[in-house]
């Protein structure tokens, strides 16, 4: 059997017995030949994302197999995105997506945008991080750095957060985040949306209070604003002035070329008072043959001298 046979994908094209969005994670290198494919289900949409340039006959066979699987998956639309192309190209292969598509998770809704480019506005692999934050947000002040569409903010509000500050360079992403807040019934909550560069906003962030919970989830490489190996330490060194005397942090890294040890060492060297509590598990469906690309480390913090 050819390693590119679509029959190899059959075990993944069944409704999962949990609420996962990722049906197949080829990026985890668990199925030879399909390392450049991921499959996500956002009912009624099935989305195939390609990271490699597969031959035309392979794409045709893939489309046919996925279209045949739609009814069993509770879907009626297939979208294929070519992430390897510049710019990323998104194609409606079959059906028509809803006018207002959503991802649903733990009773919350997150708006999707299939036209915004390579990112839909929702990262399914961060489900454990949102659950972690929601579980401990009650009565807390939360800072969401590099917030993108503010999914962490919605999870924090669902957990009873006293207030949330979101900061991200992208105004459209923050606007989508505000729509998520309102769609989930938190329109009157104490939430700030700051369309600013984090590195130029420390004074503003400090003026909005000390934070009991901080989420640090930066892009690994964003041209002109953030490069993980150059800039992450700068962020960590600023956090003590923003943290409450006792606090918690979720410190994340999505860079396949950098391991957990690199991140742990970075925190140890640049954030005194932080103590590692746990590495969050991977989200369902994101199976990995080796160390996962996404590292999410939970830290406790106690200010030195307190």
DSSP annotation of 146 reads T
pLDDT in tens, the chain (306 residues): 345 799 999 999 999 999 999 999 999 999 999 999 999 999 999 999 999 999 999 999 999 999 999 999 999 999 999 998 888 899 999 999 999 999 999 999 999 998 876 789 999 999 999 999 999 999 999 999 999 999 999 999 999 999 999 999 999 999 999 999 999 999 999 999 999 999 999 999 999 989 999 999 999 887 777 999 999 999 999 999 999 999 999 999 999 899 999 999 999 999 999 999 999 999 999 999 988 889 999 999 999 876
Which of 83, 99, 115 is at the close of a domain?
A: 99
Classify residue 104: in a domain, yes or no.
Answer: no
Cα separation, 197 vs 176, in Å, equals 18
Domain count, the chain: 2
CA angle 290, 284, 14 (to 5 degrees): 110
pLDDT of residue 3: 52
Give the torsion through C-alpha atoms of 200, 176, 51, 130, to 10 deg.
Answer: 80
Radius of gyration (C-alpha) of the chain in whole angstroms = 20
CATH of the domain at 16: 3.30.750.80
One domain, residues 58 and 131: no
Domain extent at residue 169 = 124-302
The answer as to whether 231 is a domain residue is yes
Q: Are 51 and 84 in contact (CB under 8 A)?
A: yes
Q: Both 21 and 160 in a single domain?
A: no
Examine the fold and report which residue of 31, 64, 99 is the final residue of a domain before the chain moves on.
Answer: 99
Domain assignment of residue 27, yes or no: yes
Residues 82 and 221 in one domain: no
Residue 93 in tokens = 């292969």
Residue 45 lies in a domain: yes
95 within some domain:
yes
Q: Are residues 37 and 79 in the same domain?
A: yes
Q: CA-to-CA distance for 249 and 300, rounded, in angstroms?
A: 6
């Amino acid at each position: 059997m050819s390693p590119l046979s679509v029959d190899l994908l059959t075990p993944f094209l069944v409704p999962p017995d949990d609420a996962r969005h990722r049906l197949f994670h080829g990026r985890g290198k668990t199925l030879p030949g399909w390392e450049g494919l991921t499959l996500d289900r956002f009912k009624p949409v099935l989305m195939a994302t390609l990271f490699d340039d597969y031959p035309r006959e392979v794409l045709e066979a893939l489309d046919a197999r996925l279209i045949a699987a739609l009814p069993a998956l509770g879907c009626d639309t297939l979208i294929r995105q070519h992430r390897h192309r510049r710019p990323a190209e998104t194609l409606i292969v079959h059906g028509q997506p809803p006018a207002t598509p959503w991802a649903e998770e733990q009773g919350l809704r997150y708006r999707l945008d299939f036209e915004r480019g390579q990112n839909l506005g929702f990262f399914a692999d961060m489900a454990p991080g949102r659950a972690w934050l929601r579980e401990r947000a009650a009565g807390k002040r939360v800072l969401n750095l590099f917030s993108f569409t503010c999914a962490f903010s919605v999870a924090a509000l669902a957990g009873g957060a006293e207030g949330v500050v979101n900061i991200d360079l992208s105004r459209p992403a923050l606007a989508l985040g505000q729509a998520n807040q309102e769609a989930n019934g938190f329109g009157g909550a104490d939430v700030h949306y700051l369309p600013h560069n984090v590195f130029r906003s420390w004074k503003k962030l400090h003026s909005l209070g000390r934070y009991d919970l901080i989420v640090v989830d930066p892009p690994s490489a964003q041209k002109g604003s953030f490069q993980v190996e150059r800039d992450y330490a700068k962020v960590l060194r600023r956090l003590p002035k923003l943290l409450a005397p006792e606090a918690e942090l979720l410190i994340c890294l999505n860079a396949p070329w950098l391991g957990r040890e690199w991140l742990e060492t970075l925190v140890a060297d640049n954030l005194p008072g932080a103590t590692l509590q746990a590495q969050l598990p991977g989200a369902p469906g994101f199976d990995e043959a080796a160390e996962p690309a996404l590292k999410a480390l939970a830290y406790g913090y106690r200010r030195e001298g307190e």
